[in-house]
Structure 1
Amino acid sequence: MPDVSFLLLAAIIIAAIAAFAIPAYKLRKVVEEPFPAEWRVILKRNFPVYRLLPTDLQLQLKKLIKQFIYEKSFTGCAGQEITDEVKVTIAASACILLLNRHSDTYAGLNYIFVYPTAFVAKREIVNSAGLVIEKPKGLLGESWSNGKVILSWEDVVRGNRNFTDGSNVAIHEFAHQLDHESGATNGAPFIGDSKRSENWAAVFSNEFRKLQQAAQRRDETVINYYGATEPAEFFAVVTETFFEKPREMRANHPALFEQLKSYYQVDPSDWIA
């Protein structure tokens, strides 16, 4: 007679394998399905940079969009309806950061909350008397370390349709999610080996300091001054600049451009005029 404990262990192992295999099979099926024609229309309307991408990157982006939408939960806030247009547009913003990188589609991200316009959140600040008080703050987007991104739909669309001004709230917030993959949102995403991390730290520290100086002097710069507030914001802001103003960044900040090119594994100057 077979050992009962052995049979029980075998059953548990089989169940565990099945629990893993079924979602993996479903995901593979989703990714392999044809990209819906109506989704292509949405991309062309709300993410026009898609039309500038080389064919291989277009194919990658469409697969990543399908996976992102399958894996993430979208919730509308303040009356915002969640439609295919909302999902595809936001997914495209997130997934352009993943092209050629062969990484997870934001493994730590589970929920996308979407407001129709800019939203108000309460934030604790220290006033002049040293007291901690709550103060309302208007926001276009937020990225949380507990697997949530919050976005203003109006500003997502505006940022995507004008993909040359260096300002894109969705790219900004998803860059924060990549930053947090290292365990802390501090402007130092997971790079890989120690040598590359050292080079990244040296270049980013130098460029961050230069932006702070430029902001103090009000010098003209291709990088938005908001990046001078802290290293995490610097990484998110230069990511926006890298994707939307690559040629200007390459001309004015070549070392920074090369670090971002190595990290993101694409060169947007090949497809952004």
Structure 2
Amino acid sequence: MFAWLRRLRPAPRIPDEAWQATLARYRFLAERPRADIDRLRELAAEFLRDKRFYGAHGFVISDEVALAIAAQAVLPVLHLKGGLDWYDDFVGVVVHPSEAVAQRTTVDATGVVHEYEEVVAGEAMDRGPVMLSWQDVLASGATRDEGYNVVIHEFAHKIDMRGGAADGCPPLPRSFRGTSNSRDARAAWLAVLQPAYDSFRERTIVVERFGGEEPWLDAYGAQSTGEFFAVACEAYFVNRERLRSEFAELALLFDEFFTPPDKR
């Protein structure tokens, strides 16, 4: 929305020293092809131009904080048509020093309202700001083996929400996987995502009830297809080879959506 207005203001120049420090901390960025790294730097600068960062509970937003978040946030849209237009439904990024407590309200099948607290490392609000724990953002530089990345998780939700509810199916090109309309494209997507989610959820339930080896992906992804999509996106962007070994068809599906053929 109003993308032309953003282009009237030049993006800030990211100093070389700051950019190199960011790449050194988050090696999964530095290991991408040179053309991708250059594009990441360009998109990160535009992100810094367009978004507003707010520190919660006295947390101070430094250049290091803003750049670390920006560089990781733009990775999922690196090759998507429209680029940062996928994130044009919000401006604010709220950063907490560590995990935050969110108030939740649910209504069960009988109509009874339940209120509870949930400790979260991040949250993406529909047409609203993104909240992140700086402690977890920093940890993303050392948790690639686990496929964990809170920034990518929350911004994957933002991509998902472009199609409405965060249900694990982002807006797709009508020709996705050879389809000719949006309905068939969605069906083609869910034909891969849904079985992967069902299998993952069953495995996590078995581990919870009977013990055994924990799944590699974060068990939080078993909550819903929307959370599974976000958790799988984390792994895809920081440790694609491990994701491919666990969910080969899902990795290929993400390739087709996130990376055009000429960029693979």
TM-score, shorter chain, exceeding 0.5? yes
**Match for residue 221 of structure 2?**
227
Per the TM alignment, residue 44 of structure 1 is displaced from its structure 2 partner at its CA by 2.7
**Match for residue 5 of structure 1?**
none
Per the TM alignment, residue 183 of structure 1 is displaced from its structure 2 partner at its CA by 2.0
Is 2:7 aligned against 1:24? yes
**Structure 1: distance between partners of 2:21 and 2:252:** 32
TM-superposition CA deviations, 1:161-219 (whole Å, max 9, x none): 33221111111111000000112211110111134332111111111111111112226
Q: Which amino acid aligns with 2:7?
A: A
**Match for residue 11 of structure 1?**
none
**Match for residue 263 of structure 1?**
257
Q: Which amino acid aligns with 1:257?
A: A
Question: How many pairs are equivalent?
Answer: 246
Distance change >3 Å, CA 57–CA 143, structure 1 → 2: same
TM-superposition CA deviations, 1:78-120 (whole Å, max 9, x none): 0110111111000111111111223231111211000001111
Distance change >3 Å, CA 75–CA 162, structure 1 → 2: same
**Structure 2: distance between partners of 1:141 and 1:223:** 17
Which 10-residue stretch deviates more, 143-152 or 56-65? 143-152
* RMSD between superposed Cα atoms in Å: 2.5
**Structure 2: distance between partners of 1:232 and 1:176:** 7
Matches within 5 A, 1:56-205: 56-105=35-84, 106-125=87-106, 131-193=112-174, 194=181, 195-205=184-194
Q: Which runs of 5+ in 1 are unaligned?
A: 1-18
- Paired residues of 1:78 and 1:116 also in contact (CA < 8 A): yes
Distance change >3 Å, CA 39–CA 258, structure 1 → 2: same
Distance change >3 Å, CA 248–CA 266, structure 1 → 2: farther
Partner SS, residue 83 of structure 2 = coil
- The two structures have a TM-score, normalised by structure 2, of 0.84
Matches within 5 A, 1:50-61: 50-61=29-40
Percent identity over the alignment is 28
TM-superposition CA deviations, 1:219-250 (whole Å, max 9, x none): 65333222111111011011112123311221
- Paired residues of 1:121 and 1:136 also in contact (CA < 8 A): yes
Question: In the alignment, which of 179, 196, 210 is matched to residue 199 of structure 2?
Answer: 210
Q: Which amino acid aligns with 2:97?
A: P
Q: Which amino acid aligns with 1:183?
A: G
Distance change >3 Å, CA 129–CA 204, structure 1 → 2: closer
**Structure 1: distance between partners of 2:172 and 2:137:** 28
**Structure 2: distance between partners of 1:189 and 1:128:** 28
- Paired residues of 1:75 and 1:113 also in contact (CA < 8 A): yes
**Structure 2: distance between partners of 1:196 and 1:127:** 32
Partner SS, residue 61 of structure 2 = coil
Q: Which amino acid aligns with 1:25?
A: L
- Paired residues of 1:111 and 1:147 also in contact (CA < 8 A): yes
Q: Which amino acid aligns with 2:203?
A: A
Is 2:219 aligned against 1:240? no
**Structure 2: distance between partners of 1:140 and 1:255:** 29
Distance change >3 Å, CA 199–CA 129, structure 1 → 2: closer
